[in-house]
Structure 1
Amino acid sequence: MPDRVPEGRFPRSVYGRGREPDPRFSLANERTFLAWIRTSLGLLAVGVALGVLELPLRGEFRVASSAVFLALGVLAPVHAWLNWSRVERSLREDRPLPAPALSGVLAVGIVVGGLLIVAGTFL
């Protein structure tokens, strides 16, 4: 285990542990992080679009679904960061990979947001 983190390595809570893993695994972990960031941008775009576009949805359903997607869009990068750091630490310490931190919450939120859109369309 290194005594100190090499210069320019952030966060210390990740890079100050264990040993360097196979770069392919770290790069795959980074790609997953970036995929969650793209997902966050998509969720934010849906939330904004629902809020500003004149869609054939009942008002309260449109506002509620917009709020759900905006909240998920803010939560997704938090999930990305937590998951990236937990997986990277596991790789560095030769431990089993942890379960995703907030994926269930995000999945349920997307279903709820979608159901609000459907309900607002047909009610």
Structure 2
Amino acid sequence: MSLLDRRYPKSVYQHGGEPDARFSLANERTFLAWIRTSLALLAGGVALETLSLGLHPAFRLMASALLVVVGILTPLQAWIGWMRTERALRLATPLPSANLALPLGIAVIVAGVLVFLGLILP
């Protein structure tokens, strides 16, 4: 069994040919950036709930929970995005868009609005 036969996931590597390594490595860096984003969202959600901030408790809890949930879902976006992009690179087809990027962005905006409301409401 060759090294190429053992590559995972097979749903990606069994299609097309080897793309330029620079593009695959850029795709991997994008994956890792999504993972770092996930860690930041998780840390922000935990910190928001753990630190004694002068926020309305209900808004603080909603914002924290939203950040944690989004932080949990972000690696899913990272993995699916990496697979779709790598497959497109291997097949020399147009690159796909990040389907979950907009919902994740909206969730961060909502969390920010909740924190803002928690600051200004008694």
Query: Does the residue aligned with 2:97 lie in a helix, a strand or coil?
Result: coil
Asked whether the 8 Å contact 1:47–1:68 carries over to 2, the reply is yes
Offset, 1:51:
1.4
Q: Which structure has greater helix proportion?
A: 2
Q: Normalising by structure 2, what TM-score?
A: 0.95
Counterpart check, 1:71 vs 2:69: yes
Amino acid at match of 2:16: G
**CA root-mean-square deviation:** 1.3
Structure 1 unmatched runs, 5+: none
Amino acid at match of 1:55: L
**Aligned with residue 59 of structure 1, among 57, 60, 75:** 57
Per-residue CA deviation, residues 72-98 of structure 1 (Å, 9 max, x unaligned), is: 100110000010000000000010001
Question: 2:52 and 2:59 mapped to 1: Cα distance?
Answer: 13
Number of aligned residue pairs: 120
Q: Percent identity?
A: 52
Amino acid at match of 2:110: V
Structure 2 unmatched runs, 5+: none
**Aligned with residue 14 of structure 1, among 9, 12, 15:** 12
Question: 1:105 and 1:11 mapped to 2: Cα distance?
Answer: 26
